[in-house]
Amino acid sequence: MLLQLRNVYKGFGPKEMPAFRPVLEDLSFAVEEGARLGIVGPSGSGKTTLLNLMGALDVPDSGEVIFRGKAISGYRAGELAQFRNRELGFVFQFHHLLPQCTLWENILVPVLPSKRSASAGDKSWAEHLLRKTGIWEQRNQKPSEMSGGECQRAAVVRALINKPRLVLADEPTGALDEENARLLSELLLSLSRDEGITLVVVTHAVELAAKLDAVFHLRHGKLTP
């Protein structure tokens, strides 16, 4: 099992007070290695909260998040940063590329925490991904000189640059037009399949959801098929 959530509770606001808002309640869920799963649910149901817990960007109030048999709560701060950087890739609704950097520089940012500069292997992998996503020609351009669809594809490349085991995508096509949404969905699916990367994607895109292995609904703080 790649990732497990065990009896996870998460809420916001002062504990034991009327203003406390429970979001996830006794949620248990397992993600098998290589699975490509979707999560749907109304706005405010807790999808982003859930993805943040899966990606160790936030911690549950109680319960455990377990990655390959090891509880994430057991990591020290430095280990946690390294774990996120090496094992996980994130794609958000907005690309969050650095505006002052070129596409090429942007996609290599995640390799830098572990080494001083990108290796030859990193660069050839980057080239492979840029060609596959159709933005190799734009590599010396800045995000402001690229279309929204191209920037979002760049965000996918950046998420894959460290060959993560798990990619978490939070409404990755939410800001794209239909044509670019379809293109991005196909890329996420084909890249995850070709590279054997596990994918958990929050999406309302029907076409994307239809091609995933399974789609779960977030309701009343729990995930149900």
Ligand X SMILES: Nc1ncnc2c1ncn2[C@@H]1O[C@H](COP(=O)(O)OP(=O)(O)O)[C@@H](O)[C@H]1O
Contact residues toward ligand X (CB under 6 A) are 12, 21, 23, 41, 43-49
Measure the CA dihedral 171/172/174/178, to 10°.
-130
8-state DSSP, 96: -
In the complex with Mg ion, the residue whose CB is nearer, 35 or 51, is 51
**Which of ligand X, Mg ion, none does residue 23 bind to, with CB < 5 to 8 Å depending on kind?**
ligand X
Of 23 and 156, the one with the shorter C-beta distance to ligand X is 23
CB of 61 to Mg ion, least distance (A): 19
CB of 129 to Mg ion, least distance (A): 26
Q: Which residue is nearest to Mg ion (CB)?
A: 48
Contact code string over 11-50 relative to Mg ion, x by CB under 5 A:
------------------------------------xx--
Q: How far is the CB of 217 from ligand X (least distance, A)?
A: 11
State how far the alpha carbon of 90 is from the alpha carbons of 3, 96, 168, 188, in Å: 15, 11, 5, 12
CB of 93 to ligand X, least distance (A): 10
| Long-range own/partner contacts, residues 150-154 (CB < 8 A, 24 or more apart) | 151/95, 151/97, 152/91, 152/95, 152/176, 152/180, 152/184, 153/183, 153/184, 153/187, 154/95, 154/97, 154/103, 154/106, 154/107
